[in-house]
Chain A
Amino acid sequence: MRRNQPLFVQGADLHKNTFRMSEAAEQGKDLCIHTGVVLRNANTKEEEVQSLGTLNIVEYSFGKCIEWKPVEDSVVSENPDQDSEWSLVDTHVRRARTSSEGPDSLGRTRTVRISFSDLNSLRINHGGQQLIFMQKDGTTYVAFFQLSNFESFLNSLKGFINFVKSRTNRNTFIVVDEVQSVLSKSFAELDIFQENTSDYVWKFVRNLHNRPYETTLEAFSKLADICLYKDPVKSSEEASEFLTHDVPALPASVSSGDEYEVIGDHEFDVLPPRPHCPRGMPLSQEQWNKFKDSEGRILNPQEVKDIIFHGGIIPSLRFEVWKFLLNYYPWNSTHIERLELKKRKTDEYFAMKLQWRSMTLVQENNFSDYRDRKNLIEKDVNRTDRTHPYYSGDNNPHLAQLSDILMTYVMYNFDLGYVQGMSDLLSPILCLMESEVDAFWCFVGFMEKVSPNFEVDQAGMKTQLCQLYTLLSTTDPQLAYYLNNHDSGNMFFCFRWLLVLFKREFSAVDIMKLWEVLWTDLPCKNFHLLICAAILNTERNVLMENHYGLTEILKHINDLSNHIDLSSTLSKAEGIYCQLISAEDQLPDNIRVIIGLEIQNNVLPIIDIENDIEASDHNAEADESDINAEKNSSTESILEFDTVTFDVKRFK
C-alpha cells in the first residue's frame, strides 16, 4: 500500500524540531489555529506528497511557538459539538486501529515546532500560497496553504511578533521581536471572534469604509456578547482598551502578500466606474484573406487576434484559424511550408500511435501506469459529450478517434498522462477538425496553455483559485469579504470553471467562441480569471441577498451551467480589465502579477526607486540562497527601517 504520510522532518533537522521529552509533555495553549496547511522542510524533495495539517500559534511556559500538527491530531478539535470524553475514546480507537501506518504517523512525533525566538524571517511565495519560515540556524520550512492563503495566518502572527518588510525583497519580512502589547495578545486569547482576531479587526476597518452602519452594529453586538457571557472584569478592560485605542495608529495590515498597507491609504478600494465594452464582429473570410500575403503568410497576427478577441471567428473559418491560435501552424509560415509541416506532423502522430497500438498484452500487464491511464480514458470517452450529435449513438466512430488521440497524447506526454477533464477539452476540437491528426496537434497546443490545471499536486489550480480571490478583493471587495465569511474564500466553487475552461458552463457553440477569445491571450494575462470575476459580479446580489452559505453558493454556481450569457460576460470581463488598467498606478503588486503588468512597489516610493532593479531580480521564485543572503543583511535592514518610516510620513 502506498504510504500516504511520508516523514516530513528529514535529516539533520530531525532532532531539533521534534521535542525534547520535557517539552513534549507540556500541554500548550492554542492561541490561534489555521486549518488546511501542508508543511514541508525546504530540504525535502518537491515531489514528496505531504499530509494536511493545522498551523497554530501555541503558548508554552518556555515561550510561544508556531506549531504545525498533522490533521489526525486536530480531528477532535474540529468537532466542537462532540462530547469531549467521547472524542477521546474515538481518537484512541482510531489510532490503535490504523496499524498499517508507521510510528512516524502517530501523533506527536510528527508535529513541528518553530519557536518565536528561533524565527528569523518570513517570506511569501507563489502568489501567497506559500509562507516560508526561516529559522536563525538556517532551517527552512515551507507552509503551503491549501484552504486559504497565508494572509489570515500572517495577520494573526502580527499580533505576536513584530516584523518589518525587507528592503531588498518585498515578499520577505524580518522578525524584530515579540509583540509585548497586551491588547493584541489578549484579543487573540479572548476568543471573541470565530475567525482569528487581528483578521477581524482589519476586516472591521475595511468594512467600516464600505458599510459603516452594519459594521459598527455588528462589532458592538460582538463586544456586547463578550461583556454578557465572558468574565466581566477582564472583558470590560479589553473593551475599553479597544475603544480608546487610536485605530489608525495600529500596525499596518498585510494585503495579499506584497506590501504593507497603511490604513486610510486605500485609494484603489474603489475602482473607477466600469466602462461599457461592446463586442465586435467576428473575423470574416474577407478580412482573413486580406491578412494573407501571396504565399499564405499571415501578415499581422496581432491585428487578427485583436479582431478575434473582440468578436470571435465566423464558424466556417474556425477550422483554419484555430490551427494558428493553437500554435500548430506558425503565423509566418507559407502555404507550402504548412503542407510540409502537416506531412511531418502526420508521420510523427502515427509513429506515436503505433507505440501504444503495438503494445502486447504482457507488456500492458506489466505496465500499471499505462494501464491506469488506458482504463480511465476508456471510461471517460464513453461519457464525453454523448448528447452532442457528433458523439451520440452506439458504436459512434468518433469515440474511437477521441480515445486514440488521448491514448497517443499519453505517449506524447506520459508524465501528465490522462487526467479527467482532458476529454472535455479535446471533444470540441475533434468535432471541428474532423481529422485525427489535426485535432491531436491542436489539442497539444491547447494543453500547452492549460497543462498546469492537470498537474499531480494541483498547484496550478490552487494558484488560480488563490489569484481569483485576490483579484476579487480588488474588483469587488464586498463580495470577496462575503465569500470569505461564508467559508468560500478558497473559491473551490469555481474549480470546474477553471479546470476545463468553462467547458461545462456553456453550450457547444458558445464554448468555441469563448475558447478562441481566450487563445488570443488578449488583453492581458489570466483573462479567464477576469471572466470568472465577471460571472461572479453578475451573481453577486443573488449570493449576498439570499445570504447563501457554503453549500448554497456551490449549488448556485454549479447550477449556472448553460445559463450564462456569453456575450455580456465577455463585455463585462473586458470592462473589468479597463477598470484595472485605468487605476494601474495604484494597483498593488499581487494584482499586477496576475494580469501580467510589470511589478512596481508603489507603497514606499522613496526608498524603492534605488532598489527597483535589484528587487525585480529578486521577485521571481524563492531560492534558498536568496533567503540566506536576506538573513545576513537583516540587521542592516532593521536599522534602516526607522528612517524609512520617517521618510514615508514626511512624504505624505
Chain B
Amino acid sequence: MSNRDSDNLISTNDETFDYLFKIVLIGDCGTGKTCVVQRFRSGTFIERHGNTIGVDFSMKTVLIDDKKVKLQIWDTAGQERFRTITQSYYRSANGVVVGISTFLSLQHWVEEVRRYTSSHVLLILVGNKCDLESLREVEKGEAEALCQYLPEVLQVVETSAKENTNIDSVFFYLASELKRRHENRQINANGDEVVRLGASRKLSSCSSCSYKIF
C-alpha cells in the first residue's frame, strides 16, 4: 500500500474493501497511543511526537484470509478533562485498544469502555514501551489475572512502538477477531440459532456471544 493511500482520504475513498471496522485508542497520557498508531500505519517511530489534542484520525487496510479489512483508527487525547469530547468518538467503536500504565487506570478505562461503547465491542489492553523494562509498572501476568474478571478483554499485549514489537499483531488480531465475529453474527442472523431470554442456556455456549472467553 502506498503511503499516499493511507494518508489521503480522497484516494482511499474509491478503494474497495470487504469489511470496515472502527478502532479507537484510549488510555492514560503518555502511554504511547500515537506512536503505536504511527508505527502501525507507516512503520516509523517518532519519539517526540506532540501530545494529541482532541482526536487524530487515520486509516489502514489489512488483508485477512484474502479479505480486505479496512480499519478506521481514532487516536484520542488521554487527559481526563477532555473525555467528554473523546467519548463521543468511541461510542460507535467496534474495537478499542487501551494503553495502560497502572492497575488503577486499567480498571478505570475498562469501566469507561463499558459505559460508552456498544456491547459488542472488543478490547485489547496494550502495555506499550516494553523496551523500558526498568520502568515497568504493571506485570503482564498480573494484568492477565485481572482480565479474567473482565470478559470483554480479548488479550493483554506488551508492545514497543520504538522497537516494533507486537504492534502489527495487535491490529491484525483485533481485525481478524472482528471479522470472524461479524461473519458469525451474520450466520446467526440468518435464523439457524435463536436464543430467547429465560431459556436456560449458558452465555458461554452461544457462539456469537461477545463475552466469550477464548
Q: For the complex, is B141 an interface residue (Cβ under 8 Å from A)? A: no
B84 and A458 form a contact (CB under 8 A): yes
Q: How far is the CB of B67 from chain A (nearest CB, A)?
A: 19
Size of interface on B: residues with Cβ below 8 Å to A: 50
A85 and B116 form a contact (CB under 8 A): no
B77 and A420 form a contact (CB under 8 A): yes
Which residue of chain A has the shortest Cβ distance to B48 in the bound complex? A386
Given contacts A90-B210, A376-B29, A558-B57, contact A504 B118 (CB under 8 A): no
Q: For the complex, is B195 an interface residue (Cβ under 8 Å from A)? A: yes
Which residue of chain B has the shortest Cβ distance to A378 in the bound complex? B30
A90 and B48 form a contact (CB under 8 A): no
Q: For the complex, is B55 an interface residue (Cβ under 8 Å from A)? A: yes
Which residue of chain A has the shortest Cβ distance to B91 in the bound complex? A78
Q: For the complex, is A269 an interface residue (Cβ under 8 Å from B)? A: no
Q: For the complex, is B196 an interface residue (Cβ under 8 Å from A)? A: yes
B88 and A86 form a contact (CB under 8 A): no
Segment of A170-178, A475-483, A493-501, A644-652 engaged in the interface with chain B: A493-501
B48 and A420 form a contact (CB under 8 A): no
Q: For the complex, is A94 an interface residue (Cβ under 8 Å from B)? A: yes
* Cβ 8 A contact of B53, one of A76, A86, A90, A495: A495
Interface string of B166-202 (1 = CB under 8 A from A): 0000000000000000000100110000111100000
A83 and B79 form a contact (CB under 8 A): no
Q: For the complex, is B165 an interface residue (Cβ under 8 Å from A)? A: no
Which residues on B sit within 8 Å (CB–CB) of A554? 55, 57
Which residues on B sit within 8 Å (CB–CB) of A546? 10, 13
* Cβ 8 A contact of B88, one of A492, A496, A504: A492
Q: How far is the CB of B5 from chain A (nearest CB, A)?
A: 13
Which residue of chain B has the shortest Cβ distance to A376 in the bound complex? B29
Segment of B107-115, B130-138, B154-162 engaged in the interface with chain A: B107-115
Closest 4 CB pairs of A and B: A90-B119, A386-B48, A379-B30, A495-B54
Q: For the complex, is A384 an interface residue (Cβ under 8 Å from B)? A: yes
* Cβ 8 A contact of B85, one of A76, A97, A458: A458
Which residue of chain B has the shortest Cβ distance to A392 in the bound complex? B48
Given contacts A85-B194, A90-B210, contact A496 B118 (CB under 8 A): no
B48 and A75 form a contact (CB under 8 A): no
- Find residues 1-44 in chain A having any chain B CB closer than 8 Å to their own CB: 1-2, 4, 36
Q: How far is the CB of A456 from chain B (nearest CB, A)?
A: 6
Which residues on B sit within 8 Å (CB–CB) of A2? 108
A75 and B82 form a contact (CB under 8 A): no
Given contacts A1-B107, A379-B30, contact A89 B203 (CB under 8 A): yes
Q: For the complex, is A334 an interface residue (Cβ under 8 Å from B)? A: no
- Given contacts A93-B203, A98-B111, A461-B85, 15 further A-B pairs with CB under 8 A are A79-B118, A79-B119, A87-B119, A89-B197, A89-B206, A98-B114, A380-B29, A420-B51, A420-B79, A423-B51, A495-B55, A554-B55, A555-B57, A555-B58, A558-B57
B48 and A382 form a contact (CB under 8 A): yes
B87 and A52 form a contact (CB under 8 A): yes
Q: For the complex, is B81 an interface residue (Cβ under 8 Å from A)? A: yes
Which residues on B sit within 8 Å (CB–CB) of A387? 48
Q: For the complex, is A421 an interface residue (Cβ under 8 Å from B)? A: yes
B114 and A94 form a contact (CB under 8 A): yes
Q: How far is the CB of B151 from chain A (nearest CB, A)?
A: 8
A86 and B51 form a contact (CB under 8 A): no
A556 and B210 form a contact (CB under 8 A): no
Q: How far is the CB of A8 from chain B (nearest CB, A)?
A: 16
A456 and B81 form a contact (CB under 8 A): yes
- 20 A-B residue pairs with CB within 8 Å: A71-B115, A75-B118, A75-B119, A85-B196, A90-B119, A91-B119, A93-B119, A93-B203, A383-B49, A383-B51, A456-B81, A458-B85, A492-B85, A495-B53, A496-B53, A499-B53, A500-B53, A552-B13, A554-B57, A555-B9
A424 vs B85: C-alpha distance when bound (angstroms)? 19
Q: For the complex, is A216 an interface residue (Cβ under 8 Å from B)? A: no
Q: For the complex, is B120 an interface residue (Cβ under 8 Å from A)? A: yes
Which residues on B sit within 8 Å (CB–CB) of A180? none
Given contacts A1-B107, A89-B197, A147-B88, contact A551 B57 (CB under 8 A): yes
Which residues on A sit within 8 Å (CB–CB) of B119? 75-76, 79, 82, 87, 90-91, 93-94
Q: For the complex, is A490 an interface residue (Cβ under 8 Å from B)? A: yes
A76 vs B197: C-alpha distance when bound (angstroms)? 15
- Find residues 44-90 in chain A having any chain B CB closer than 8 Å to their own CB: 52, 71-72, 75-76, 78-79, 82-83, 85-90
